[in-house]
Amino acid sequence: MKKIRWGIVGPGEIANKFAKAIKNVKEASLVAVASRSEDKGKAFAEKYDIEKVFCGYEAMAESDAVDAVYIATPHPFHKPCAELFLNFGKHVLCEKPICVNAKEAEALSICAGKNNVFLMEAMWTRFIPSIIKVQEIVRSGVIGEVRGIDASFCYASSIEEEAKLFQNDMAGGSLLDVGVYGLHFVSLFLGNNPISVSAEAIVEDGCDCITNVLLRYERGAIASVSSATKLQKPADAYIYGTKGHIYLPHFYGAQEFFVRCGEEETKITAPSLGDGFEEEIIEACSCIEHGKLESKMLPHAESIAMLRLMDNIREKIGVKYPFD
Ligand SMILES: NC(=O)c1ccc[n+]([C@@H]2O[C@H](COP(=O)([O-])OP(=O)(O)OC[C@H]3O[C@@H](n4cnc5c(N)ncnc54)[C@H](OP(=O)(O)O)[C@@H]3O)[C@@H](O)[C@H]2O)c1
């Protein structure tokens, strides 16, 4: 198999994790990085032994040095960056949330289709072995019918530590930053179309810093998803069934989980290949290799549904962005 040649767009915080992970993926090679600053691009390229540095994103989009790109810019720039590369025929793996609202994500999906190229949201949690294993166990019926899920991803930060989280014009807030993990997780087990959505949040300067969401589903199940940028709480998830439950510590990157039915508890270990990004890169490479425009594991419609849900939640808690 020919290796897919990847480029990184926006070498910031999270791009480091991708650059490390891709070295463990035999189907891929990291050949380029594009930065708005030449010095920054060069420093990143040196750190990860990357052949080509592009000053400016357009220069990489126009070049034929890469087949696919990983977009690691802050949320509001996902859509314009992804569009730029899609329009030059490059496949795109774009950080979460794929866009800031459903309207943008729908447009991006159309753009990928028109250009006949692959597009996927980099929601790595969906691809790691533990989450795949939990889905198998739930499907097996061991815990009975799923009637409840609690998923929480909260942490305490500050404007001094990470300004963009607290800036409305950067699509700041906890829901889009980490609440998105809980919503994707719930959707794997209960679907993406709750019949009722309610939410409470603490909103400061137009950004939600503590958010609790309740989702009710037609099948008779309720999920609760919490996210925060100003609160410490374990990032755990529970799936409750009619016969037992599953507990996932650090659910978004879980390496192990616990299945409890009555008095009996089983610990199941399902480690990731590395830090957790390898599996999503493998899936993207496999789709590109086979000429698929989207992944069955995370189709465009699912990313759009998650944003539609977040649009709905934001309307309820009064968080509006300039791009809405
Ligand atoms: N999957 C995960 O586990 C995970 C974890 C953290 C974050 N994320 C996601 O990854 C994305 C990036 O987060 P991050 O914390 O890595 O971002 P960041 O470090 O703040 O920014 C990443 C890079 O984006 C580029 N950029 C382009 N336009 C920009 C602008 N107007 N302002 C600031 N930077 C701009 C900059 O690169 P150049 O100047 O070099 O071009 C910057 O270094 C977010 O959408 C976030 O949700 C995902």
**149 shares a domain with 109:** no
Domain that holds residue 202: 129-271
Go through the chain and tell me how many residues it has: 324
For the whole model, what pTM was predicted?
A: 0.97
Report the nearest atom of ligand 1 relative to the CA of 44.
40
Ligand 1, atom nearest to 164 Cα: 20
Residue 12 confidence (pLDDT) = 97
Along the chain (324 residues), what's the average pLDDT of each consecutive run of 10 residues?
A: 93 98 97 98 98 98 98 98 98 98 98 98 98 98 98 96 97 98 98 98 98 98 98 96 98 98 96 96 98 98 98 98 96
- Rg of the chain over Cα atoms, rounded to whole angstroms, equals 20
Active site includes 96? yes
Structural domain ending residue among the three candidates 91, 122, 153: 122
Catalytic residue among 79, 90, 96, 230, which? 96
Q: Is the CB of 74 under 6 A from ligand 1?
A: yes
Residue 30 lies in a domain: yes
Q: Of all atoms in ligand 1, which is nearest to the CA of residue 122?
A: 1
Ligand 1 pocket mutation, candidates 35, 58, 95, 159, criterion most atoms within 8 A of CB: 95
97: cis peptide before it, omega within 30°? Answer: yes
Pair 115, 133 in one domain: no
- The token duo for 164 is 């963009």
Give the pLDDT score at 2. 82
Ligand 1 contacts CB of residue 12 (under 6 A): yes
Domain final position from 248, 271, 294: 271
Q: 3-class DSSP state for residue 162?
A: coil
Last residue of a domain, one of 122, 149, 168: 122
Q: What is the pLDDT of residue 242?
A: 98
Query: Does 140 fall in a domain?
Result: yes
- pLDDT number for residue 153: 98
Helix intervals (H) in the chain? 15-22, 38-48, 57-62, 78-87, 102-115, 129-140, 174, 180-190, 278-289, 300-317
